Structure 1
């Protein structure tokens, strides 16, 4: 049933959204992490700061991420984490969300990878039943743990046969290893029919993006913003239809760009690149998916273009054709209810 349009102040909050790039342990809000830490006798006080986490560079961010991850140890813990994250997303109009999941972090916390996925899947199932938000898991290999570990993650993703595991990606410290080191892992995932994405062009310059495209042949790039340093590379990305999982708030928090005006999101979009906006690790970077859409709006994206970002994300989602069609129909309906310009087909 179509209701009345929201007040202008609520329009951006309720604009239909979708997210392709968020690490599930990095989405643990401090209040939840504190409760979990107390349960297991873990002290997180040195990395907590109000409603966010304290760190000073990318290396200390990774260390903090690993610390928070140890506060989730059972299937029930991960069901709770997924449910909490997706409830927050659905509360701001999100129709679809993908989460990066790391079997290596699960094992470090003492949980079998299958149990980890089962727990997350239960939280995802409950969230969809409660709010309608659709979600999928992208298994990631952590590159700074080495090529063999990444291949093991790919093998797990390929054989786990869970219907909510639909993709494989490369995450971790981009400064470690070369893209070609992980080519076998991507071949394993590709042969299994999984969607492919890889972090590139965040900490490292545009050459790393080109190397990643050459060696791993992903359909999407996590971040990818440093491609803007090379017009030829941007043209290649546009021509190949590579989708960029852009995370402006994360990029700004890490100091990749001095301010929003310098961030290349708008320039990449105007060049014809398929861009999406994403929160990455929301409480670590003091952001949210709603805030990422707000940052895009501050860069000059119109309401129709913001809805277009959501359409791009759904079209690039690692889902089957029937689910994609349903999500696109829901997007159209949500835009109509808001009175927003329809996203272009």
Structure 2
């Protein structure tokens, strides 16, 4: 079998805090004198049922990790390591999702927080050979007016290259907030040319997906896995060209499905949906990008041609430039042209670089 870590791909669903290595979180906690729950440091992936109590535990752990990020140096370290880890797993394009609100008090405000992350994204892209762009995401837990503020901030940095904002999202508990009330923020983002990439269809089912489609006009849907429960809705998603950012490890860890084989990846692909596999929050779920492709192979029976199809879907769903897309797509073709068990050099179009000092739990 060909090495999935050498398969060029795009990573479109990775959260800023959730991208951290366990060792990095431990360092930041020590520097900030924050006592963390043992579950964040013991290397055991989070497993919770998808009810109110389960989501609360996930959010509590995520908030505890985020509370350790209190300096410009911490922001820069997280971006750099996310780029290094992605590059080591074959990602040539990372669209990292961030809400700068929580980091703003420590670095001089919202604009400063975002500009630091963007600046480091440019540097990390050059160092590690993976283009890092940003998706600015609002939270369903906050007032929709705050989402408009973030949308205006994102619009000022709109672009498609490394260190630019390519999309606007909406994250956090899908059961909170009124989707329609966030529509004005997404209208601001669309006018600036940003992709609409809200979450939807993980904790809630097809009705929520339809609500997001109706009001936020997504180009990509964060998760969207439960679209498979409604054939008519799935046909609408496919016809409209909305890509689904599927995160199998997240689905199982949050109890949406009991086991990996229950995730309807095959059904979605067979229906013609564009799929971009993502790691979501590897800090909590213990599974990085390449592991999602191994799950597709080992659990869902995807052969190398099908894995290449998933990689192509992620690249085409990205907001990368035409030149970057063409380069990565050529790399996918080269990966397939290399016989299984053949040379382990990266395929043309992507240079894979080793991630520094990752712990076994971080390696996915």
2:233 corresponds in structure 1 to 233
**Any idea what the Cα deviations from partners look like across 1:152-184, whole Å, max 9, x if unmatched?**
211211124575111111111110122211110
CA–CA distance in 1 between the matches of 2:336 and 2:106?
42
1:39 corresponds in structure 2 to 31
CA–CA distance in 2 between the matches of 1:252 and 1:22?
16
Cα distance, 1:338 vs. partner?
Answer: 6.5
Of 8, 13, 23 in structure 2, the residue corresponding to residue 21 of structure 1 is 13
Structure 2 unaligned spans of 5+? 49-53, 342-346, 348-364
Shift in CA distance, 91/276, structure 1 to aligned 2, threshold 3 Å: same
Cα distance, 1:111 vs. partner?
Answer: 4.7
CA–CA distance in 2 between the matches of 1:141 and 1:236?
26
The question of 1:211 aligning with 2:208 is answered no
Shift in CA distance, 25/205, structure 1 to aligned 2, threshold 3 Å: same
2:4 corresponds in structure 1 to 12
Cα distance, 1:149 vs. partner?
Answer: 1.7
Structure 1 unaligned spans of 5+? 1-7
2:95 corresponds in structure 1 to 98
**Any idea what the Cα deviations from partners look like across 1:286-330, whole Å, max 9, x if unmatched?**
211111111111201111111111111111112333333333334
CA–CA distance in 2 between the matches of 1:18 and 1:143?
26
CA–CA distance in 2 between the matches of 1:180 and 1:84?
36
The question of 1:71 aligning with 2:68 is answered yes
**Any idea what the Cα deviations from partners look like across 1:241-298, whole Å, max 9, x if unmatched?**
1100000000000110111222111110011111121100012112111111111112
2:361 corresponds in structure 1 to none
Please tell me whether the aligned partners of residues 154 and 189 of structure 2 are also in contact (alpha carbons under 8 angstroms).
Answer: yes
Shift in CA distance, 161/225, structure 1 to aligned 2, threshold 3 Å: closer
CA–CA distance in 1 between the matches of 2:47 and 2:270?
34
Aligned pairs for 1:1-345 (under 5 A) are 8=1, 11-52=3-44, 56=48, 57-107=54-104, 109=106, 111-161=108-158, 164-297=164-297, 298-337=299-338
Q: 1:20 aligns to what SS in structure 2? A: strand
Please tell me whether the aligned partners of residues 14 and 92 of structure 1 are also in contact (alpha carbons under 8 angstroms).
Answer: yes
1:4 corresponds in structure 2 to none
Shift in CA distance, 64/325, structure 1 to aligned 2, threshold 3 Å: same
Please tell me whether the aligned partners of residues 155 and 194 of structure 2 are also in contact (alpha carbons under 8 angstroms).
Answer: yes
Q: 1:276 aligns to what SS in structure 2? A: coil
Please tell me whether the aligned partners of residues 139 and 172 of structure 2 are also in contact (alpha carbons under 8 angstroms).
Answer: yes
Q: 1:234 aligns to what SS in structure 2? A: helix
Please tell me whether the aligned partners of residues 81 and 120 of structure 1 are also in contact (alpha carbons under 8 angstroms).
Answer: no
CA RMSD of aligned residues (A): 2.1
Please tell me whether the aligned partners of residues 73 and 111 of structure 1 are also in contact (alpha carbons under 8 angstroms).
Answer: no
* TM norm structure 1: 0.90
Moved more, 85-94 or 104-113: 104-113
**Any idea what the Cα deviations from partners look like across 1:211-259, whole Å, max 9, x if unmatched?**
1001111111000011111110011111111100000000000110111
Please tell me whether the aligned partners of residues 28 and 85 of structure 1 are also in contact (alpha carbons under 8 angstroms).
Answer: yes
Shift in CA distance, 312/283, structure 1 to aligned 2, threshold 3 Å: same
Shift in CA distance, 286/233, structure 1 to aligned 2, threshold 3 Å: same
Name the count of aligned residue pairs.
333
* TM norm structure 2: 0.85
